[in-house]
Amino acid sequence: MKGKVTTNIAMQLTRAKAFAPASVANVAVGFDLLGFSADVAGDTAVVEKIDEPQVVVGEVTGLMTSLPLSPLENTATAGLVRLVRDRKLNFGFRVSIQKGIPLGSGLGGSAASAVAAIVAANELLEARLTLNEMLSYALIGEGVASGSFHADNVAPSLFGGLTLAAMNETAPNELPTVTVSELPIPEGLWCVLLHPNQRLDTKQARGILKPHLQLNSHIEASANLALFMTALFTSDFDLIRRSLRDDVIEPQRAHLIDGFYEYQKAAYDANALGCTISGAGPALFAWARGEAHAIAVKTSMLQATSGLARAWAFELKRSGARVVS
Q: What is the nearest approach in angstroms of ligand HSE to the Cβ of residue 253?
A: 8
Q: Tell me if 280 contacts ligand HSE by CB under 6 A.
A: yes
Q: Tell me if 98 contacts ligand HSE by CB under 6 A.
A: no
Q: What is the nearest approach in angstroms of ligand HSE to the Cβ of residue 23?
A: 9
Which CA distances in Å does 211 have to 206, 214, 248, 257, 277? 10, 10, 11, 21, 19
For residues 155 and 273, which CB has a smaller minimum distance to ligand HSE in the complex? 155
Dump the DSSP string for 222-237: HHHHHHHHHHHHHT-H
For residues 41 and 280, which CB has a smaller minimum distance to ligand HSE in the complex? 280
Q: What is the nearest approach in angstroms of ligand HSE to the Cβ of residue 274?
A: 16
What gap in Å lies between CA 254 and CA 142, rounded to an integer?
A: 23
Closest by alpha carbon to 185, among 297, 42, 320? 320
For residues 146 and 163, which CB has a smaller minimum distance to ligand HSE in the complex? 146
The binder of ligand HSE chosen from 17, 22, 26, 248 (CB under 6 A): 26
Stretch that binds ligand HSE, among 24-32, 181-189, 210-218, 307-315 (CB under 6 A): 24-32
Residue 119: exposure state from Cβ atoms within 10 A (0-12, 13-18, ≥19): buried
Residue 191: exposure state from Cβ atoms within 10 A (0-12, 13-18, ≥19): buried
For residues 31 and 312, which CB has a smaller minimum distance to ligand HSE in the complex? 31
The binder of ligand HSE chosen from 15, 206, 310, 322 (CB under 6 A): 206
What track of x and - describes contact with ligand HSE for positions 144 through 163 (by CB under 6 A)? Answer: --x---x-xx----------
The binder of ligand HSE chosen from 18, 25, 273, 316 (CB under 6 A): 25
What gap in Å lies between CA 110 and CA 166, rounded to an integer?
A: 19
For residues 256 and 295, which CB has a smaller minimum distance to ligand HSE in the complex? 256
The pairing of strands 162-167 and 34-50 is antiparallel
Q: Tell me if 279 contacts ligand HSE by CB under 6 A.
A: yes
Query: Would you call the peptide bond into 156 cis, given omega within 30 degrees of 0 as the criterion?
Result: no
What gap in Å lies between CA 131 and CA 127, rounded to an integer?
A: 13
What gap in Å lies between CA 302 and CA 311, rounded to an integer?
A: 7
Q: Tell me if 250 contacts ligand HSE by CB under 6 A.
A: no
The binder of ligand HSE chosen from 5, 32, 41, 143 (CB under 6 A): 32
Which residues form the interface with ligand HSE (CB under 6 A)? 25-26, 31-32, 146, 150, 152-153, 202, 205-206, 279-280
